Structure 1
Amino acid sequence: MSALSRRRFLAIAAAAAASPARATPLYQWRGTALGADASITLAHPQAESIVQRALAEVARLERIFSLHDHRSALVQLNTQGRLENPPFELLECLALCRSVHAASGGLFDPTIQPLWALYAEHHAISRHPPEGRLQEARSRTGWSGLRFDARAVTLRPGMALSLNGVAQGAIADRVADLLRAEGLSDVLVNTGEFHALGGQPGGGAWPVTLDDGQRLHRDAVLLENAALASSAPHGITFDQAGMVSHILNPLTGLPAPARWQLISVTAPRAALADALSTAFCLMDRAAITATLSHFPQARLVHPV
């Protein structure tokens, strides 16, 4: 959509480049996953075939989580209000959303999609949504309107879900799980969020440089058997001026304030780091600290 702009916030540091001492050259695939820049980096004699298996898994998961593929499980749920026999990956993601929703005091809420669609519609014609329309859209949100178990996922009439604040991390985790099950290690999976399976093939952790769209931060985040996710409230905006954040407060319906330029979180799983970094865009430092107390293995790495 023309009113939206995408910027890159993360880059693999130059220190992850191939070393002359490495017997097998470092191989890196680059592409996209759920519309975000993606890459898979490893050193293995069968790197290309390994990457192809990983990409098949990415494609399978996109057919669950995509908002833009009419065949996806998520689109079917949003269209029909009910999804029978939901995929396990969707249920797992919703269970994580429930935990982060509770820990964040409701600031992480995937039922925000009606509000998001309203902002996108109005800012496409350079208008802010009127208060009446905002209130109507808010009436079609709320975690209490969602029900899910192994038999079905159901939504209250008029509701819709967006998993954009968690799905990229979930896909990174699933790809890492696939490669781990095949006995692989020392792989860096990037599907918009990072999951490091082991460390660099030549030794040491994977260094990932934080990029807030304006400058690269000097100190890289070192990842080894860990995940990293970042959110920037004004990295994607509804308006051309870059003032109306794409991250919306589900409690007020208002865009995230310009409090933080970039939020980065590490955790054992990228889906958790992804959800937390999204929620933290709407919090002050005290609220971030309180939320982190529910997830002892997660850590705020930017800002420090």
Structure 2
Amino acid sequence: MTLSRRRFIALSACAAVAGPTCASPSTSVWRGRALGAEVVVSLRGANERDIWRLGQRIAAQLDRLESALSLHRASELVRLNETGLLAHPSPFIAEMIALSDRLHATTGGAFDPTVQSAWLAQAQGRRTDVPFGWSKIDRDRGIRLPEGMALTFNGVAQGYAADLLAELIREAGYQDVVVDAGEIVAMGQGLPVDIVGDDDRVLRQIVLRDRCIATSSPRATLIGPDAAPHIFHPDGRSIRWRTVSVAASSAAVADGLSTAFCLMQEHEITETLTQWPDASLVLRT
């Protein structure tokens, strides 16, 4: 079985839009969507009834996650961005804030979820001199944003979703599992993974075993009338790399680091990795 950066290579042609499919006599696949990405879970040792029940739990968890972090439906994050206040953030938001704190600090500010207002301005072809800066968020009583500021956790949320699902499935008793929620978690048997660049060319293949991997390519998606890279920083720092892949024990950590590393020089990446000893740079081009 081989997985690409953003695409699960199906084990069976009989895929459903959401729900379980039988991929082989010993492997089952569940498919759905969350946070703008296809979600595919492959596991061995589950019968049809088991995978259906587990799929119901997966779908419920993804729905809770969307209700907290989505930018495309009514969610806590949308409410925060619209009103500037979230008095009682859910554990999902609290965990995103805590992880973002550490990523922001260890990447010299390259990871900054306050890019959302600038991202929207860029996508709409407007001026991008909008409020930003992670340190400007007030967290004394809930979460308060300065006027005009908005957050996005898209630089880490897909990895976080993969981690949550892997934990759910592990607690259900399965050990040989692959979760692809835009970033990949592989538990158990080693899995070949293709790292694909922004031109859909395979740059490298690695074997992932009890590990997670995330890949970021700023020009894989272009936004706005100027076709700007979708990964950028509102302070104007330059993109340094076309494609970056990071492996770690957490897909959320790998996701956040791969996003930030696109904007960081080589010596900065090396320094950051000393503060994340479980993470490793797999590829940068």
TM-score (norm. length: structure 2)? 0.86
SS at match of 2:39: strand
Would you say 1:245 and 2:229 are equivalent positions? yes
Would you say 1:113 and 2:109 are equivalent positions? no
- 1:84–1:238 CA distance, 2 compared to 1 (3 A): same
Q: Is the CA contact (8 Å cut-off) linking 2:37 and 2:181 kept in structure 1?
A: yes
Where does residue 267 of structure 2 map in the other structure?
Answer: 286
Q: Give the Å deviation of 1:134.
A: 2.8
Where does residue 43 of structure 2 map in the other structure?
Answer: 42
Alignment of 1:61-76 (within 5 A): 61-70=65-74, 72-76=75-79
Q: Structure 1: which amino acid aligns with 2:174?
A: L
SS at match of 2:86: strand
Would you say 1:156 and 2:137 are equivalent positions? no
Q: Structure 1: which amino acid aligns with 2:241?
A: W
For residues 8 and 40 of structure 2, what CA distance do their matches in structure 1 show?
A: 10
For residues 123 and 89 of structure 2, what CA distance do their matches in structure 1 show?
A: 28
Identity %: 39
Q: Give the Å deviation of 1:93.
A: 1.1
Where does residue 296 of structure 1 map in the other structure?
Answer: 277
- 1:105–1:23 CA distance, 2 compared to 1 (3 A): closer
Where does residue 174 of structure 1 map in the other structure?
Answer: 164
Would you say 1:103 and 2:94 are equivalent positions? no
The size of the alignment, in residue pairs, is: 269
Would you say 1:10 and 2:6 are equivalent positions? yes
Higher relative contact order (CA 8 A, sep 6+): 1
Would you say 1:94 and 2:88 are equivalent positions? no
Q: 1:81 aligns with which of 65, 77, 84?
A: 84
Where does residue 128 of structure 2 map in the other structure?
Answer: 134
Q: Structure 2: which amino acid aligns with 1:250?
A: P
For residues 76 and 120 of structure 2, what CA distance do their matches in structure 1 show?
A: 19
Where does the alignment leave 5 or more consecutive residues of structure 2 unmatched?
13-22
Q: Is the CA contact (8 Å cut-off) linking 1:169 and 1:270 kept in structure 2?
A: yes
For residues 108 and 246 of structure 2, what CA distance do their matches in structure 1 show?
A: 18
CA offsets 1:239-290 (integer angstroms, 9 cap, x no match)? 4775x101111322x6x53x42211111111111111010011112222111
Q: Structure 1: which amino acid aligns with 2:134?
A: W
Where does residue 227 of structure 1 map in the other structure?
Answer: 212
RMSD of aligned Cα (Å): 2.4
Q: Structure 2: which amino acid aligns with 1:229?
A: A
Q: 1:54 aligns with which of 34, 51, 58?
A: 58
Q: Is the CA contact (8 Å cut-off) linking 1:226 and 1:269 kept in structure 2?
A: yes
Q: Is the CA contact (8 Å cut-off) linking 1:11 and 1:210 kept in structure 2?
A: no
Q: Is the CA contact (8 Å cut-off) linking 1:233 and 1:246 kept in structure 2?
A: yes
Q: 1:143 aligns with which of 120, 134, 138?
A: 134
CA offsets 1:163-204 (integer angstroms, 9 cap, x no match)? 1101111111111111222222111111111122x22xxxx3
SS at match of 2:253: helix
For residues 148 and 189 of structure 1, what CA distance do their matches in structure 2 show?
A: 33
Q: Give the Å deviation of 1:30.
A: 3.0
For residues 135 and 203 of structure 2, what CA distance do their matches in structure 1 show?
A: 43
Q: Is the CA contact (8 Å cut-off) linking 1:188 and 1:195 kept in structure 2?
A: yes
Q: Is the CA contact (8 Å cut-off) linking 1:166 and 1:271 kept in structure 2?
A: yes
Where does residue 210 of structure 1 map in the other structure?
Answer: 195
- 1:247–1:50 CA distance, 2 compared to 1 (3 A): same
Where does residue 125 of structure 1 map in the other structure?
Answer: none
For residues 219 and 262 of structure 1, what CA distance do their matches in structure 2 show?
A: 11
Q: Is the CA contact (8 Å cut-off) linking 1:91 and 1:148 kept in structure 2?
A: no
Where does the alignment leave 5 or more consecutive residues of structure 1 unmatched?
1-7, 123-128
Q: Structure 1: which amino acid aligns with 2:6?
A: L
Q: Is the CA contact (8 Å cut-off) linking 2:5 and 2:214 kept in structure 1?
A: no
- 1:214–1:154 CA distance, 2 compared to 1 (3 A): same
Where does residue 31 of structure 2 map in the other structure?
Answer: 30
Q: Is the CA contact (8 Å cut-off) linking 1:106 and 1:250 kept in structure 2?
A: no
For residues 215 and 128 of structure 2, what CA distance do their matches in structure 1 show?
A: 28
